[in-house]
Amino acid sequence: MWPSGTLRKACCNNGFFHHSITISGCPVACDGAAHLKENAHVVDLNLFLRMDDKTVLVTGGASGIGYAVAQFLSAVGAAVALVDLDEERGKIKTAAIRSRGGRARFYPCDVSDAIRVEETVNAVVRDFQRIDGLVNCAGVIMRADVLGLEEKDWDRTIDVALKGVFLVSKYVIGQMKAAGGGKIVNIGSGWSLKGGQKAFSYCAAKAGVLNMTRAMAIDHGKDNIAINCVCPGDIDTPLLEIQSRQLGIDTDEFYGSQNDVRPLKGPGRPEDVAHAVFFYLSDLSRWITGSSLVVDGGGLA
Ligand code: NAP
């Protein structure tokens, strides 16, 4: 089970309500008796920040945001199952995490293929015994207007974003329910919340991911499964470069324009999104479900 995350009452001889946070014990010198002071507490961050006993499955884990999520989770002790299309890249990224002491395995899988998804989830459970967290991060983008988009590209965008989240969640939720609970984070977009130029298929898919998150959260709260959505703005990953190509804009020019379109200079970094994902996977968000967190340098402000 996910740790309860209760505050550990302890510490501090200064007589004031103690708001400091420490990783292990009191951050200031204090004598033993004073530790019992009623109105003082220290939060044991290990309860919230370590995931040593957790296994998290990350789709799209071999690139960009998904890989940053896998790296961060591994750094806080979680075992990570990277699920992605490209076997060669997946193995390289997994080996990189392992070389830093992490527990990681790669599973080649198209998240829109029901049979492969079921096999993959079963393989992850076989290898790690459990799945405590799921990050639905795999995604594709096709920048075109209605007249310019091919039907197959519409199908692909919707299949990866919507069917992929449905299928992976379907098999993982079955496992989580049997194990007593878990956490799911779906990766939406700023375009879950507003429209964008030449992005209508992606906007449709990502708006769907956000509302799907809310509906799934309603259904599975009773199973002790919290389901939330992180909505990134433009993040420096291969997906951003793909967009500049699809729009026929010089990549340097595209990146250069990112500085002026939001309050905080951009684009964002993959780890900016990973930190928000971690918040939702950790017990810091114990009583949060069906919500979304925008990570966009203020672009939607
Ligand atoms: P990325 O670097 O291209 O990573 C996406 C990964 O998903 C790639 O490894 C891709 O493999 C994989 N993938 C695609 N289709 C798949 C499928 N059917 N099954 C399994 N894996 C599949 O892009 P990213 O920027 O990290 O994007 C991650 C998520 O963030 C996506 O959902 C994206 O929509 C969302 N997002 C990104 C941004 C941004 O600005 N970067 C902004 C908002 C939201 P291939 O490379 O082989 O296709």
pLDDT score of 7: 37
Residues of the chain with pLDDT under 70: 1-41
CATH architecture of the domain covering 50-295: 3-Layer(aba) Sandwich (3.40)
Query: Is the beta carbon of 110 within 6 A of some atom in ligand 1?
Result: yes
User: For residue 67, how far is its CA from the centre of ligand 1 (angstroms)?
Assistant: 10
Query: Is the beta carbon of 86 within 6 A of some atom in ligand 1?
Result: yes
Query: Is the beta carbon of 73 within 6 A of some atom in ligand 1?
Result: no
Residues 6 or more apart from 24 whose CB is under 8 A from it?
44, 46
Query: Is the beta carbon of 142 within 6 A of some atom in ligand 1?
Result: no
Facing residues of 104 across strands?
Answer: 80
DSSP conformation class of 199: -
pLDDT score of 112: 98
Structure tokens at 255: 């990146």
Query: Is the beta carbon of 65 within 6 A of some atom in ligand 1?
Result: yes
For a mutational test of ligand 1's pocket, the pick from 58, 65, 119, i.e. the residue with the most ligand atoms closer than 8 A to its C-beta, is 65
What type of residue is 130? R
User: For residue 65, how far is its CA from the centre of ligand 1 (angstroms)?
Assistant: 7
Structure tokens at 44: 């044991």
pLDDT score of 40: 53
pLDDT score of 168: 98
User: For residue 53, how far is its CA from the centre of ligand 1 (angstroms)?
Assistant: 27
Query: Is the beta carbon of 232 within 6 A of some atom in ligand 1?
Result: yes
> Measured between alpha carbons, how far is 142 from 203 in angstroms, rounded to an integer?
10
User: For residue 75, how far is its CA from the centre of ligand 1 (angstroms)?
Assistant: 22
For a mutational test of ligand 1's pocket, the pick from 57, 140, 212, 300, i.e. the residue with the most ligand atoms closer than 8 A to its C-beta, is 140
Residue 171 annotated in active site: no
pLDDT score of 9: 34
pLDDT score of 46: 80
Alpha-helix runs per DSSP H in the chain: 46-49, 64-75, 87-99, 114-128, 151-158, 164-179, 200-220, 238-247, 251-256, 270-281
pLDDT score of 261: 87
pLDDT score of 12: 31
Pairing, β 41-44 against β 8-9: antiparallel
Coil vs helix vs strand at 43: strand
Q: Where are the domains of the chain?
A: 1-47, 50-295
Ligand 1: residue whose CA is nearest its atom 10: 60
Query: Is the beta carbon of 239 within 6 A of some atom in ligand 1?
Result: yes
Q: Are 138 and 70 in contact (CB under 8 A)?
A: no
pTM value is: 0.90
